[in-house]
A and B are shown apart, each in its own frame.
Chain A
């Protein structure tokens, strides 16, 4: 077998794209599909360009009340009393609720699909009764005839607080004399499974070790150790959180909401309200962005309680400041990372200490951070310690490749320093050290077939990398990143219609075009057009349990379910054809071009047999139910050209390319869109985005004016190079695409800034004042 180094690759346009949309092609290996890899119009597109698509806040119900949530003005305080009597007397008010209107919760763990939650903590996050732990923490809620009445009434609720000192920084929060947020938290040492015995803010400590770390560093010719910090950032979805609930007299609760996982909302609402899941129906409305932040409940149980108390349906919407104050964020962090290389430029050892903000309650993505920190490279000896630390900020949530962006900023910046110190080309270093199939990560996982090396190869061959970058204050940086992706539970049912089309029912809420990507996989198997499949996302009573749209899993796992449903349809149609021809079913074959053929040259098309189903035993319904466990991890490498303004420290991006192994691109336009959108979020995180807190724990920039996400005027064209190293765990090779692209940008930008301006940025965001500070310091 030829080694990877002997393989021949080229870069070419990805068919159907614009000039900036490319792919890496290996000689003699081009996929051969009819539907997969094409660019049909998405099925939900017309509704979304005409304003007809119904998002969470668009629901209207007879007798609908509007609600308002009263939130804490303090970052850290004990609640001494809550008096709602004046609010209840306001004309037009129909219900007022506090935590006392929910069942009490106990300390048990629940799995939300992108993170574990303690039910007591979630109960306290939804409506606090004991302590408030961040400004904006929900305390009480009112339902009234209008949102304005509800708001005015809520302001009459009297809450007596004993104000406590907040702690906002992870390094302070883990000291012995720091204020402790949660009396019930003890340090949980993993994977050892040992537990501490004193109250602390350090909720978790993950420790991984591989090989002989000390010997590895001793064998190194160069060792670089650096410290990094990143600020709290928000997912920044444009649609605020919203929930509408009706608690019917028959005990059934219906929740209309925008969520990444309707079944996860069902589970959380049922658990927090003490009812069986079968009593809760969640109707997923269209969702206006999530990025990991719309999995946990906030408003849903509160709306249900207000509905029970008022006997009317109740809608709760957050405003933008609520969204920043009380939802989202992904942690700020402190990281110390050390890497050693030998004389040949091969990594000998790596060590990392990672401190992530959990926010108010335990649950930062510190474990994935630990597993990702050295994930791109073959590190023979490694030691990783990660800490999940409570601070007085909103409870942290998943955000696109949770934890990986932080650690890539650290590792990839050090890799660039190593390359510079040793005079090695950053592409060459990565080609030499890239992980390959069979390599073992520090946390003990052995890689299946992966495409890290191929993404670097694509960088090497790209026009962008080969072009020259001239001019003062300009520089080019590259960085790589990894995400696991996920499989999980998905269910699809598909009904063959008499006109030769298929109605596909799924439980995966569609955030970025997954209806199309799932429908295309069913169409490919059946040999029909993508347009002949009608995909619909339905409520939790209408399909089997389907995990969140998260973990880059939907195209992979719900796609697998669609493939199984298509195969089920094929098998049933073969039986029907056998019945028509009076032969055995195993004598009939369904080929990839939608034709069934039997003995003696008999053939019948999919369309023809679809019209005969009611005469041959009734409609055919295919079913696919999977718990997918062969998701392939994926890698990306980005190239950034920047110009740094020496007078202001502002960083302008001149050119940007995203290279990513996606396994197989089902709908390349939406794959490119994920790569571009992820890069844009990473660029925002790199250059501008941060939560500004005062010492009192008040968030000072809870608007889109002051929390500045990139506009289209801030960004250049974002070129894409799709790499397709098929995932053997999926018939078409799908790995998942959504998360990897947010990982490399901060490090790619930092490395480009160094080449442009000679300053190493080790703190995010690399905003103009901070870059200018480094520029001025370097002049001294």
Chain B
């Protein structure tokens, strides 16, 4: 096994240093090294979106990023979405609209929704569906997820 390296980064606003082997993915380090298990593993090859995080403002599948690549980056994960005193408007919308069943894909959907609404505060339904097409959900048929994103967009706008 190759030697581990020290990686300095910021996660959810806090400075974080961690040791990572060159072969480890960002997903593996988040879950196994840093105990940030809210980011989920569904496929490990970039096809399901369950491990979606925001890296320097950009939406990525953390299973497709090597941990050593995030040196100097700013990372946002599901653990950093809710404010101290409650839930983010997106999280409230997912609960109000019953936009989750088993919930394993939910952190990824919430991260994707956050990135969408930061870029486009009033997306059309077609824009929502196009933007979320990289996140797979097997339970809901997506209908209530789309309603939740619409409700969240209302909340963000008004």
Contacts and interface: CB of A to CB of B under 8 A. Distances in A.
Contacts of B45: 320, 703-705
A223 interface: no
A286 interface: yes
B18 interface: no
Contacts of B143: 20, 672, 676, 715, 717-718
B42 interface: yes
B104 A55 contact: yes
Given A51-B79, A705-B45, A677 B138 contact: yes
Nearest to A149: B1
B41 interface: yes
B47 A703 contact: yes
A46 B41 contact: no
Interface size bucket, A side?
A: 35 or more
Contact of A717 (B48, B87, B105, B146): B146
A46 B87 contact: yes
Main secondary structure of the interface of B (DSSP, over half): loop
A445 B82 CA distance: 53
Interface in B82-129: 82, 87, 91, 94-98, 100-107, 110, 128-129
A670 B87 contact: no
B133 A718 contact: no
A148 B1 contact: yes
Given A51-B38, A513-B98, A715 B104 contact: no
Interface in A676-728: 676-681, 703-705, 709-715, 717-718
Nearest to A510: B102
B139 A712 contact: no
Contact of B129 (A287, A288, A713): A713
Interface in A48-86: 48-55, 57-58, 60
Contacts of A288: 40, 42, 102-105
Contacts of A289: 101-102, 104, 138-139
A667 B97 CA distance: 12
Interface string A263-303: 00000000000000000000000111111000000000000
Nearest to A44: B103
Interface in A282-333: 286-291, 317, 319-320
Contacts of B35: 60
B39 interface: yes
A37 B106 CA distance: 25
Tell me which of A41, A57, A513, A677 has the highest count of chain B C-beta atoms within 10 A of its own C-beta.
A677
B145 interface: yes
B96 A52 contact: no
B138 A54 contact: no
Given A18-B147, A51-B107, A239 B40 contact: yes
A709 B146 CA distance: 17
Given A41-B96, A320-B44, A670-B101, A51 B141 contact: no
Contacts of B136: 238, 704, 709, 711
Tell me which of B31, B43, B96 has the highest count of chain A C-beta atoms within 10 A of its own C-beta.
B43
A237 B110 contact: no
Contacts of B107: 49, 51
Contact of B138 (A49, A60, A681): A681
B50 interface: yes
B132 A712 contact: yes
A512 interface: yes
B77 interface: yes
B95 A240 contact: no
A463 B101 CA distance: 28
Nearest to A52: B38
A239 B102 contact: yes
Contact of B101 (A51, A54, A60, A512): A512
B100 A49 contact: yes
A39 interface: yes
A320 B98 contact: no
A240 B96 contact: no
Contacts of A448: none
Contact of A712 (B1, B82, B97, B129): B129
B94 to A, nearest CB: 5
B42 A320 contact: yes
Nearest to B128: A712
B73 interface: no
Nearest to B98: A669
A42 B98 contact: yes
A715 B81 contact: no
Nearest to B149: A712
A53 B78 CA distance: 12
A51 B104 contact: no
Contact of B144 (A46, A149, A669): A669
B119 to A, nearest CB: 17
Nearest to A712: B142
Contact of B105 (A58, A238, A674): A238
Give me the 7 closest cross-chain CB pairs, A-B, nearest first: A51-B38, A288-B104, A680-B141, A676-B141, A48-B103, A669-B98, A51-B78
Interface of A: 18, 20, 39, 41-42, 44-46, 48-55, 57-58, 60, 148-149, 235-240, 286-291, 317, 319-320, 511-513, 667, 669-670, 672-674, 676-681, 703-705, 709-715, 717-718
Interface of B: 1, 21, 23, 31, 35-45, 47-48, 50, 77-79, 81-82, 87, 91, 94-98, 100-107, 110, 128-130, 132-147
28 contacts: A46-B91, A48-B100, A49-B87, A49-B94, A49-B107, A51-B39, A58-B37, A60-B35, A238-B48, A238-B137, A239-B104, A240-B43, A288-B40, A288-B103, A290-B102, A320-B45, A512-B102, A669-B98, A673-B144, A680-B140, A680-B142, A703-B45, A709-B136, A711-B136, A712-B135, A712-B142, A712-B146, A715-B141
Given A286-B102, A317-B41, 13 more contacts: A49-B106, A51-B36, A237-B138, A238-B48, A238-B105, A289-B104, A290-B102, A320-B43, A667-B98, A676-B142, A677-B139, A710-B142, A717-B146
